[in-house]
Amino acid sequence: MTDVPPAANPRPGARIRLLEAALRLVRERGYAATTVEDLCTRAGVTKGAFFHHFASKEALGVAAANQWTTNTRAFFAEAPYRAHADPLERVLGYLDFRKAILRGELPEFTCFAGTLVQEVFGTSAPIRTACEASITGHAAEVAADIAAAMERHGVRAGFTAESLALHSQAVLQGAFILAKATGRTDVAVESIEHLRRYVELLFQPTARERKDPP
Amino acid sequence: MTDVPPAANPRPGARIRLLEAALRLVRERGYAATTVEDLCTRAGVTKGAFFHHFASKEALGVAAANQWTTNTRAFFAEAPYRAHADPLERVLGYLDFRKAILRGELPEFTCFAGTLVQEVFGTSAPIRTACEASITGHAAEVAADIAAAMERHGVRAGFTAESLALHSQAVLQGAFILAKATGRTDVAVESIEHLRRYVELLFQPTARERKDPP
DNA sequence: TTGCAAACATACCAACCAGTCGGTATGTTC
DNA sequence: GAACATACCGACTGGTTGGTATGTTTGCAA
């Protein structure tokens, strides 16, 4: 369960390498199919080191999900679309950015949390919770921009910023599944383009509203 | 590798029970975490029967995916929304139907093919192919109605019926992941409602004017 | 009734797997 | 420099897993 590095400053050693191995291997082969020895081999450490840093394979799963949360938060915080002043442009820029990063092999750009939780939601509550936090936490950041855009531009009623943000995560997760099933990236790209068009339509003022601005 | 029942008509026995056990257990625990013995226990047969009907665990995976294709095709062919004369109403009726069937436990309504392919896309080409066929085959049926609706009603340009059909599958697959992560069904429902609104907006130019609440 | 193949069941195995344990090397503290 | 802590090593273990070898039963045609 617990796993936080013990206070001090352990040089980037076995622990972080094991977490990075997990981030990669689980997306490549899945959680159950990734053995502890696979992880050790990839990280270049021994089994002794693994169980020194993690109480169990499940504990590593939780720690890796938390690591994913940290990594993605930093990654999107630094992304260029964040610089837009208009929140609607940040929302659309986010979707363009998500589309642009679909490069390379599937395990490089798919979502670790989504992959993992799909497999273990029924068998490991701690991992499920960590993955849920990762996904809903990211959605909350997107929701903040959506809420600001709704405030600034007004919008066709009938939904909340939170639900649209979660919907965008659903589209992305589903796009990854389609890409895995077909082996093609362009189906994922097209799905994100549909989502972008949806957001544009939602924020496009109606004829009535254009004549009669707030 | 191959798996098709050998020509004749093997009465509903161990084989079909094993396939149904796979459909359930894989959605419950994932493919790798489901052992051959788990499947045998659930199906009420022995290991000997398992390997009499399937050359390997992988062969069962392929057969189960094909079984899923057959089951779902029949299920949607008989659904009430199919009776609508207007293809657009069939498309919207399809989405309402997908929303309505989100009842009971997660493993009862989630997509077997999507669950399975996410786990094995990199480790089993035969299974991946069978899952791909299942998903794209179903999407093709949806695409037929979308294409007819586009023909009948006209639509904002910029996309094909096929890509919108695949997008709808992405939304559904992603909605399942959100439901698994959060343990809640309503996030999936709301995502499908977003998708339905998107389709309505796409077809709005020629659809009747509707009054939105302020 | 016999013959025979498909449909099961029982017993077993070699490989594998998560986790354990005694031990070593290298600091850090007092 | 003694006492202690952290990081890491790798052989080992008890249980599990996919798969096999070898029966036994069942359905049915000749």
Question: What pLDDT, in 10s, does the model give residues A133-147?
Answer: 999 999 999 999 999
What are B140-175's pLDDT values in tens digits?
999 999 999 999 998 877 899 999 999 999 999 999
Placement of tokens 């670790």 in the chain: A112
Q: What does the pLDDT read at residue A14?
A: 82
Query: What is the mean predicted confidence (pLDDT) over B88-113?
Result: 97
pLDDT in tens, A160-211: 999 999 999 999 999 999 999 999 999 999 999 999 999 999 998 654 454 4
Report the length, in residues, of chain A: 214
Residue B209 has pLDDT above 50, yes or no: no
Residue A150 inside a domain? The answer is yes
pLDDT tens track for B103-149: 999 999 999 999 999 999 999 999 999 999 999 999 999 999 999 99
**C-beta separation of A72 from A131 below 8 A:** no
**Model pLDDT for residues A107-134, shown as the tens digit of each residue:** 999 999 999 999 999 999 999 999 999 9
Residue B3 is assigned to a structural domain of this protein? no
**Could you tell me if residue B2 is inside a domain?**
no
Q: Assign residue B114 a region (left: φ > 0; alpha: ψ between -120 and 50; beta: otherwise).
A: alpha
The rounded distance, in Å, linking the Cα atoms of B48 and B25 is 20
Residues in chain B closer than 8 A to A187 (CB atoms): 163, 166, 170
C1' (C13) to CA (B48) span, angstroms:
15
Torsional sign, CA B205, B210, B213, B214? positive
* Average pLDDT over all residues of chain A: 90
Percent of chain A with pLDDT over 70: 90
Average pLDDT, integer, range A2-22: 61
- How far is residue A139's CA from residue A134's CA, in Å, rounded to a whole number? 9
Going by C-beta distance under 8 Å and a sequence separation of 6 or more, which residues neighbour residue B77?
none
Number of domains in chain A: 1
Quick count: other Cβ atoms within 10 Å of Cβ A48? 10
Enter the tokens of residue B43: 């199906």
b/e per residue, A63-101, with b = 16+ CB within 10 A?
Answer: bbbbbbbeebeeebeebebeeeeebbebbbbbbbbbbee
State the virtual CA torsion across B35, B36, B42, B46 in degrees, nearest 10: -150
Dihedral angle over CA of B108, B110, B112, B116, nearest 10: -130
A133/chain B closest Cα distance in angstroms: 9
pLDDT of A2 strictly over 50:
no
Distances (CA, A) of A83 to A72, A89, A152, A161, A213: 17, 9, 17, 20, 28
Q: What is the pLDDT of residue A154?
A: 82
The integer distance in angstroms from the CA atom of B50 to the C1' atom of D16 is 18
Mean pLDDT for B85-91 is 97
| Interatomic CA distance for residues A64 and B31, integer angstroms | 21
How far is the first Cα of chain A from the last one, in angstroms, to the nearest whole number? Answer: 52
Q: What pLDDT score does A206 carry?
A: 57
Per-residue pLDDT tens over the stretch B40-72: 999 999 998 999 999 999 999 999 999 999 999
Could you tell me the two tokens for A193? Answer: 């383009």
Tell me which residue in A115, A119, A174 faces B170 most closely, judged by beta carbons. A174
How confident is the model at residue A155, as a pLDDT? 82
**For testing contact with chain A, the best of B177, B186, B193 (most A CBs within 10 A):** B177
Which residues in chain B touch residue A176, judged by CB atoms under 8 angstroms apart? 118
DSSP state of B207: S
Containing structural domain, residue B108:
14-206
Cβ distance A171 to B167 less than 8 Å, yes or no, reads: yes
**Does B6 fall in a domain?**
no
Give the end-to-end CA distance of chain B in Å, rounded to a whole number: 59
Gap from B48 CA to D19 C1', Å = 10
Which protein residues have any CB–strand D distance under 7 A? Answer: A 5-6, 8, 10, 13-15, 45-49, 51-53; B 34-37, 47-48, 51, 56-58
In the block, which residue shows the tokens 């997509």? B111
Q: Is the pLDDT of residue A3 over 60?
A: no
The predicted pLDDT at position B12 comes to 55
The per-residue pLDDT for range A52-109, each reduced to its tens digit, is 999 999 999 999 999 999 999 999 999 999 999 999 999 999 999 999 999 999 999 9
CA of A204 to C1' of D8 (A): 60
Nearest to B26 by CA among B10, B11, B8, B38: B38
Residue A28 lies in a domain: no
Residues of A within 8 A of B197 (CB-CB) are 158-159, 198, 202
Q: How far apart are CA B173 and CA B127, in angstroms?
A: 18
Contact list in B for residue A178 (CB cut-off 8 A) is 135, 166, 169-170, 173
pLDDT number for residue A185: 97
Question: Quick one: average pLDDT of A145-167?
Answer: 92
Question: Across the interface, do B170 and A167 touch by the CB < 8 Å criterion?
Answer: no
Is residue B144 one of the residues assigned to a domain? Answer: yes
List the single residue in B with minimal CA-CA distance to A191.
Answer: B167
B-chain residue closest to A170, CA distance: B174
Nearest C-alpha in A relative to B25: A122
Q: Write out chain B residues lying below 8 Å of A202, CB-based.
A: 197, 201
Q: How far apart are CA A115 and CA B89, in angstroms?
A: 34
Residue B8 pLDDT more than 80?
no
Query: What pLDDT is recorded for position B14?
Result: 84
Per the domain annotation, does A34 fall within a domain?
A: no
Match 């068998």 to its residue by tokens.
A123
Q: Do B166 and A187 touch (CB under 8 A)?
A: yes
- Please write down the HEC assignment for all residues of chain A: CCCCCCCCCCCCCHHHHHHHHHHHHHHHHCCCCCCHHHHHHHHCCCHHHHHHHCCCHHHHHHHHHHHHHHHHHHHHHCCHHHHCCCHHHHHHHHHHHHHHCCCCCHHHHCCHHHHHHHHHCCCCHHHHHHHHHHHHHHHHHHHHHHHHHHHHHCCCCCCCHHHHHHHHHHHHHHHHHHHHHHCCCHHHHHHHHHHHHHHHHHHCCCHHHHHCCC
**Contact between B170 and A182 using a beta-carbon 8 Å cutoff:** no
CATH number of the domain enclosing B137: 1.10.357.10
Higher confidence at residue B53 or residue B14? Answer: B53
pLDDT reported for residue A79? 98
Residue at minimum CA to C1' distance from nucleotide D5? A6
Report if residue B88 sits inside a domain: yes
In a 3-state reduction of DSSP, which class is residue B77?
helix
Contact A118 B171 (CB under 8 A): no
| pLDDT for position A7 | 33
Confidence band of A156 (pLDDT split at 50, 70, 90) = confident
Q: Which nucleotides of D are covered by protein (CB under 7 A)?
A: 6-12, 16-23
